[in-house]
Amino acid sequence: MVPEPPPAGNGSSAAPGIAVEARNASKEFGQGEGAMRALDDVSVAIRKGEFFTLLGPSGCGKTTLLRLIAGFDTPTSGTILLNGRDITADPPNRRPVNTVFQSYALFPHLTVLQNIRFGLDMLGRKRAEADARAAEMLALVRLEGFAARRTAQLSGGQQQRVALARALAPAPEVLLLDEPLSALDLKLRKEMQRELKRLQRETGITFVFVTHDQEEALTMSDRIGVMRGGRILQIGGPREIYNQPANRFVADFIGETNFLAGEVEAVEGDLATIGLPCGSLTVPATGLGQGQKVTLAIRPEQVRIGEAEGLPAMITGNVYFGTDTHCHLELAGGAEIVARLQNAADDVAALDEGTSVRVSFAPGSVQVLQD
């Protein structure tokens, strides 16, 4: 659950199936004492044909890494490779890479077809060939019949599709997407999440997507790299990142999580007993020692509420979300947790504020974080 190391060796070769790679890439802005390190010794290998997402809060370095791949910035140290070739010093126009920006950057004086054809024109493609390719891209993004319109006549979602079609028209080996959905409303953003994944599957192009939205990352990605402070903290598939976070930051950033502070009271064989102010829990003993301070992470949907077994708690409030209800609880000792309950259950409405209950957790759902 740590970032992958680069392939062995000092040459420019890449491991089979690797589209783009950063090796020990760092980027500093400014000089001297005022220098700011935006990227700190990052190594990551992105596979051919995958949808890879860089996820993290603002200022974590994800867009900086994207710009190094695009060639808009040069790393202070380290190497960027594309299909095994060192492109660190290559300008953007010498890289078979295209970028879709948050602002779309469409030309208002050109038609939709002309916008999509623009990159092909710059590459010197023949007019008939460029028109045919642009029409093919229009069909791919489902905008047939819009070729003659101006971009100002399009909705936000349609403009985003035009930007995608323009970026895909030259058939880049890698497509970089810098938070392209952030300007859309919620319903349209969800629609475009499905569209982006469809386009990636149909074209087979490697997508590198930047976002701070964990739902976008979980919905679309084959793999996710979670970033903080210029470093990649964990790389893995959506289920792995969600269910097996490497540390507290990842657990907290990906979805909602309950945290309980505890101490290892005993280790017996493969199991450890974790003491909490409200009682104790038994968890796998991997890497744990008696007296060790730990943090337990439990997702709200894994919390079970009953009357007979578990840790004593009191309901302090309920928040209705339509499909489910978030039940807020206070454990003995003062710790607060949230249970996410499906509203299809008949007993949800009976969980009134002030009710004393017992809380347990689904088998295997308690993650032990040691940092």
pLDDT score recorded for residue 111: 92
Closest CA to 9 of 114, 96, 81, 112: 81
pLDDT at 4 over 90: no
Q: What is the mean pLDDT of the segment spanning 109-136?
A: 90
Candidate from 4-13, 86-95, 340-349, 354-363 with smallest mean pLDDT: 4-13
Q: What is the mean pLDDT of the segment spanning 199-214?
A: 94
pLDDT score recorded for residue 347: 59
Q: What's this model's pTM, rounded to 2 decimal places?
A: 0.86
How far is 198 from 179, CA to CA, in rounded Å? 17
Burial 249-287 (b: 16+ CB within 10 A, else e): bbbebbeebbbbebebeeeeeeebbbebebeebebebee
pLDDT score recorded for residue 1: 38
Q: Which fold has domain 256-369?
A: OB fold (Dihydrolipoamide Acetyltransferase, E2P) (2.40.50)
What DSSP string runs through 358-369?
EEEE-TT-PEEE
Closest CA to 52 of 21, 14, 82: 21
Residues 156-171 have pLDDT tens digits of 888 888 988 999 999 9
Task: Report domain extents, the chain.
Answer: 18-96+172-252, 256-369
Strand ranges inside 196-242, DSSP E:
206-211, 223-228, 231-236
Q: Which fold has domain 18-96+172-252?
A: Rossmann fold (3.40.50)
SS (H, E, C) 51-63: EEEEECCCCCCHH
pLDDT score recorded for residue 350: 65
